[in-house]
Amino acid sequence: MKLTLAFSPCPNDTFIFDALVHKRIDTLGYDFEVILADVEQLNQKAFHSEVDITKLSFHALAYITQNYQLLNAGSALGNGCGPLLVSTPQNSNKPIAALKTAIPGKYTTANFLLGIAYPNLINKEEVIFSAIEDAVLSGKFDAGLIIHENRFTYEAKGLKLIKDLGAFWEEFSGAPIPLGAIAIKRNLSEKIKKDIDGLIKKSVEFAFEHPELSMPYTRQHAQNMDEKVMKQHIELYVNKFSVDIGEEGEKAIRLLLHTASEKQLIPAVVEPLLV
C-alpha cells in the first residue's frame, strides 16, 4: 500500500524519518511518497486534507482534528526548545505590543504561544522561518519570532532576546512544550493507523541506534547548515517524546489546546485525539 508522507527538511524530521523512507526497517509492505515542505506549507496541505501522514504544528492540528488524528510517535515536544522573540538592540526596549513582528506562519505553534503570551501584539506578518533574522536586521521588522536552528545563530548575528516563549510556557504550565505533531488521516483503518504509528516509532529508535546512517539524508536537506548546528538541532528536538508521546506528553498537549480554547484562539478538539 502506498501512502503520502509529508515532513519538513529540518534535521529533526529527516533524522526521524530516514529509516522509514529508505527502508532500513521492515515497512510491512507500505511504500511512501515523500513530500518535503516548510511547516506552514505542511499546515496548509493538512487543511486541505492533501496528505495521508503529515508533520504539522500543534496549533494547526487544533483546526483539523475532524480529519486527522495525532500519532504517538514522531512528534516534537521538549524543554528549553521553544520559539524566541528577538529584535535588534535598539528595538528591545519598545513596548512589545507596538512591535511590527515577523512570524514563521499564522498556524505555527510559535505564533500560538506568542498569542497566548502577548494577545495585544497584532502587527504580525508571515515570513518563511529561515528569512526572519535577516528581515529584522534589515529594519523591515522591529522583531522576529524565530524557530528551529535560528535559536543557535541569532546572537552571533547581533540580535537580542526579548522573550523565550518556550520558557514562558514551561513556567506557566510546568509541562514540556508541544511544537510539531505527526498526524494521520482519521478515515484510514485502525490497522493502518496503528501500523504507521509503530513504524515511525521503529524509525526513530533505529535513528537513535544508528545516528551515522541518517546523516547523509539529513545533510542533503539541511540547507548548508553547519554540521555542529545540525547535530544540536537533532539533540534538542528529537527525544523520548519523539519515540512515544506518553502520558506526560499527552497531558502537555491537552493543556496547550485547552488553554488556547479557553482564550478562544482555537476551536474545540474532536476526540479521540490520539491514535
Residues with a known catalytic role: 148
Q: How crowded is residue 118: how many other Cβ atoms within 10 Å of its Cβ?
A: 18
Instruction: Please state, in angstroms and rounded to a whole number, the distance separating the CA atoms of residues 219 and 116.
Output: 35
Mark out the alpha helices in 100-226 (DSSP H runs).
109-117, 132-137, 165-173, 190-209, 211-220
Which letter, b or e, does each residue of 64-94 get, where b requires 16 or more Cβ atoms within 10 Å of its Cβ?
bbeebbbbbbbbbbbeebbbbbbbbeebbee
Mark out the alpha helices in 28-175 (DSSP H runs).
39-47, 58-61, 109-117, 132-137, 165-173
Instruction: Please state, in angstroms and rounded to a whole number, the distance separating the CA atoms of residues 208 and 211.
Output: 6
Which letter, b or e, does each residue of 209-230 get, where b requires 16 or more Cβ atoms within 10 Å of its Cβ?
eeeeebbebbeeebeebeeebb
List CB contacts of 184: < 8 A, sequence separation 6 or more.
52, 53, 68, 69, 71, 192, 193, 196, 197, 275
Cα–Cα–Cα angle for 244, 2, 207, rounded to 5 degrees:
35
Amino acid letter at 212? E
Q: How crowded is residue 242: how many other Cβ atoms within 10 Å of its Cβ?
A: 27
Of 154, 12, 179, nearest in space to 85 by CA: 154
